[in-house]
Amino acid sequence: MRAHARVVAEADGRGGTRLAQLRGETPLLLRRTGVAADLDAGWATEPLVGGAAGPLGGDDLRLDIDVGAGARLSLRTVAASIALPSRTGAPSHLNVRVTVAGGGTLHWLPEQTGAAADCRHTTAASVDAGEGATLLWRDELVCGRHDEAPGDLTVSTSVTYAGRPLLRQRLDVGPGADGWAGPAVLGAARATGSLLHVHPGVAPGAPRVLGPTAVRVPLAGPASLTTATAPDAHALRQYLCLAAPEPAPVPLLRPP
Query: In angstroms, rounded to a whole number, what is the distance separating the alpha carbons of residues 120 and 89?
Result: 7
Mean pLDDT by 10 residues, the chain (256 residues): 93 90 86 59 74 82 96 89 92 97 95 94 97 96 92 97 96 94 92 95 86 93 94 93 56 47
Q: What is the pLDDT of residue 41?
A: 64
Q: What is the pLDDT of residue 255?
A: 47
pLDDT in tens, 189-242: 999 999 999 999 887 788 999 999 999 999 988 999 999 999 999 999 999 987
Smallest Cα–Cα separation from 219: which of 183, 239, 245, 238?
A: 245
